Amino acid sequence: MSHSTFKTLSFFAAVLAGLIPAYFLVFGTKQLSDSRQRSGAVHASAVENGPISPSDPFVIGFSEPVDAGTLDGNISISPDVPFKTVWNGDRTSASVMPEGRWTPDGQYRVLIAEGKIGMMKSVPASAFSFRVSGYPGIVSVSPSGGTKDVALDIEDPIVVTFDRAVKDFYVDFRLSPGIEVSYENDPEKTEFRILPKGMIRPETSYALSVFVKWRDEPDSAYHKLGETSFTTIAERPVTWEKDIALRVAQAKKYAHALKPQGKYIDIDLPIQIMTIFENGVALDAYPVSSGKLGMETPKGEYAIRNKTPRAWSAAYGLYMPFWMALVPDGKFGIHELPEWPGGYKEGANHLGVPVSHGCVRLGVGPAKRVYDWADIGTPVVVH
């Protein structure tokens, strides 16, 4: 017997004895590896575990491409909502999308029933839970609810602070009785400063309501987050005309110069009027807004210390056009109605009412007139 014949008989003897599996006769080593791989499970997993927005899909990934048509019927959602499944091009992920929107702050569970996806492969039963992002919350509102004697002003606006950035939302501030508002926000969009565009009535109750909606929601979907209420400060009785234009006319007619020579600026705090004099003659008079109660503009004699056409207040984050300092450290001075970096300017409706933090404000036009007219060193009398 030849050596090769002996080896062949030995191999078949081993097969009959069960020492070598018979499929080696048919498939060989490589075919065995492929067969075992095809008979394994295809695993599913959530692509992202964090909260999703109401319009975002929940995405499921698969360890291998799957037969989408076979698997679609094995996917369900609890609580039950109408949905559709969209597969990516290579069938390794599926986006589960509601026909409408997920409910904000909602909790959902996606269930995949065990099922075959091929002759030798299956997807085991799987379950995934996910949460839908909710609306932002309000951390604080100033003035707080029920505050009395409020004097809204560009240095003291309504301030609303949220618990997170609201970049994915539209925010609507509604002041009632109905007045349109202007607002600015910080770069993070967590804090908003709000001021009414129209005249605020004295000794009147107001309510500010805050509404939000996701950016892709219709206007009808605005959701109310909260509100605050406050009462404005009462008008102080004066003997001069309450109408600021008539009061200015009175000042021009009846004000008398405290300094008979040269230029000087006269600021009458009780009537909130500035009159500019030259050699004892009143050239013009303008309504002003001086420091409010507790932050009154100090009375006394001063002089223009320095001037700049557009000063920046780091303390309050706003510009003060046509700035004229009255004290060396610049703690207070004369300037035009201040404005935020975004361009919103304090309304002229506060002229004639003391609402500033100590400075003396002039309206648009008069501020430049006085700025151009007054020299450094020009006396200023505040009384």
Please state, in angstroms and rounded to a whole number, the distance separating the CA atoms of residues 282 and 187.
47
What are the pLDDT digits (tens) for 11-44?
444 444 444 444 333 333 333 334 344 446 888 8
| Average pLDDT of the segment spanning 130-142 | 94
pLDDT at 119: 66
Q: Mean pLDDT throughout 299-324? A: 95
Domain with residue 274: its CATH number is 2.40.440.10
How far is residue 317's CA from residue 276's CA, in Å, rounded to a whole number? 30
Residue 174 lies in a domain: yes
User: Is 82 within a domain?
Assistant: yes
**Domain final residue, candidates 199, 232, 265:** 232
Indicate whether 64 and 127 sit together in one domain: yes
322 and 342 part of one domain: yes
Average pLDDT, the chain: 85
- DSSP summary character for residue 5: H
Residue 238 counted as domain residue: no
pLDDT of residue 22: 40
Confidence (pLDDT) at 370: 98
pLDDT computed for residue 1 by the predictor: 52
Q: Which residue among 131, 160, 191 closes a domain?
A: 131
> Domain end: 131, 158, 173, which one?
131
244: Cβ–Cβ under 8 A, 6 or more apart, which residues? 272, 287, 351, 352
Residue showing tokens 């959902």: 108
pLDDT tens digits, residue range 223-239? 999 999 999 887 655 56
* Structure-token pair, residue 103: 């409910």
Torsion of CA 9, 14, 15, 21, to 10 degrees: -140
- Say yes or no: 264 and 351 in one domain: yes
| Residue 168 shares a structural domain with residue 298 | no
3-state SS, residue 24: helix
Q: What is the pLDDT of residues 162-187, one digit of tens each?
A: 999 999 999 999 999 988 999 999 99
pLDDT computed for residue 24 by the predictor: 37
**Per mean pLDDT, which of 112-126, 270-284, 287-301 is the most reliable?**
287-301
Question: What pLDDT sits at residue 107?
Answer: 94
Lowest mean pLDDT among 28-32, 44-48, 86-90, 351-355: 28-32
Domain residues for the domain of 277 are 244-382
Residue type, 91: R
Statement: residue 265 has pLDDT above 90? yes
| Residue 239 lies inside a defined structural domain of this protein | no
Any domain includes 57: yes
Are residues 272 and 318 both part of a single domain? yes
Q: Are residues 200 and 122 in the same domain?
A: no
Q: Are residues 292 and 317 in the same domain?
A: yes
Task: State whether 66 and 173 are in the same domain.
Answer: no
Report the pLDDT value the prediction gives residue 26, as an integer from 0 to 100: 36
Q: Tokens for 302, please give them.
A: 């001063």
Closest CA to 333 of 302, 354, 363, 373: 302
Residues 15 and 142 in one domain: no
Residues 334 and 273 in one domain: yes
Q: Where are the alpha helices (DSSP H) in the chain?
A: 3-16, 28-38, 68-71, 244-254, 366-373
Instruction: Count helices and strands (H / E) in the chain.
Output: 5, 26
pLDDT of residue 237: 52
**Domain containing residue 71: CATH number:** 2.60.40.3710
Structural domain total, the chain = 4
Q: Specify if 237 maps to a domain.
A: no
16-25, 109-118, 126-135, 260-269, range with the lowest pLDDT: 16-25
Is the domain of 272 the same as that of 351? yes
Task: Return the higher-pLDDT residue of 261 and 69.
Answer: 261
Residue 358: per-residue pLDDT: 94
pLDDT at 195 over 70: yes
Answer yes or no: is pLDDT of 6 > 60. no
Task: Report the percent of the chain where pLDDT is more than 90.
Answer: 55
User: Which tokens go with 75?
Assistant: 């996917």
State whether 302 and 322 are in the same domain.
yes
